[in-house]
């Protein structure tokens, strides 16, 4: 008798929900072991295994997956992607911007207004492009001991501007 009750109870759990959900086509729920559901609006599905350790979700706007703490990934409909591995490596890309990091030593970034390349603490380069001010490139060797900034036009009097640090460690070169 107890065995029969356990089987009926387990089968009931596979269809358990707090009530009818709008837009959900199919739902299988063995929480917290596994949950799967498909949806009409937004079209997609969700799969959780040993929630919150693994989750995969897809809809019209994005596909997201994570396996805590090993990786997270997200792919957006506009072409943007994000990837994170063991919190030490991450990559983020979109049509306007691209960046990847190997924490804490390497960082590379490219975009419409900023380009970065850093091999910390040995070398770093940062280029900032703004429509109102000259393009500035900063090179750092053995940061923070040596830093050189170049600009496409002359700087304000004294070599300082709103975006320039005038510390004694910095050499300003006009090009």
Q: Assess whether 39 and 107 both reside in one domain.
A: no
Is there a domain that residue 70 lies in? no
Is there a domain that residue 115 lies in? yes
- Over residues 28-41, mean pLDDT: 89
Is there a domain that residue 74 lies in? no
What range does the domain containing 4 cover? 1-60
Q: Does the N-terminal peptide bond of residue 133 adopt cis geometry, omega within 30 degrees of 0?
A: no
Q: Assess whether 52 and 110 both reside in one domain.
A: no
Number of domains in the chain: 2
pLDDT of 10 strictly over 70:
no
Q: Is 66 exposed, middle or buried (0-12, 13-18, 19+ CB in 10 A)?
A: middle
Is there a domain that residue 131 lies in? yes
DSSP 3-state of 173: strand
Is there a domain that residue 78 lies in? no
Q: Assess whether 102 and 30 both reside in one domain.
A: no
pLDDT of 81 strictly over 60:
yes
Average of per-residue pLDDT values in the chain: 79
């Amino acid at each position: 008798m107890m065995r029969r009750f356990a089987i009926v109870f387990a089968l009931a759990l596979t269809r358990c929900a707090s009530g009818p959900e709008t837009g959900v086509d199919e739902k299988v729920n063995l929480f917290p072991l596994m949950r799967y559901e498909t949806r009409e609006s937004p079209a997609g599905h969700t799969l959780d295994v040993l929630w919150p350790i693994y989750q995969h979700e897809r809809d019209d706007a994005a596909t997201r997956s994570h396996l805590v703490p090993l990786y997270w990934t997200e792919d957006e409909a506009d072409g943007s992607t994000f990837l994170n591995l063991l919190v030490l490596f991450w990559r983020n890309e979109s049509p306007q911007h691209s960046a990847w990091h190997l924490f804490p030593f390497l960082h590379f970034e490219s975009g419409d207004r900023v380009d970065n390349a850093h091999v910390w603490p040995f070398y770093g380069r940062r280029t900032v492009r703004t429509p109102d001010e000259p393009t500035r490139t900063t090179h750092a060797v053995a940061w923070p001991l040596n830093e050189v900034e170049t600009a496409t036009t002359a700087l304000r009097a004294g070599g300082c501007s709103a975006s320039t640090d005038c510390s004694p460690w910095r050499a300003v070169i006009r090009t």
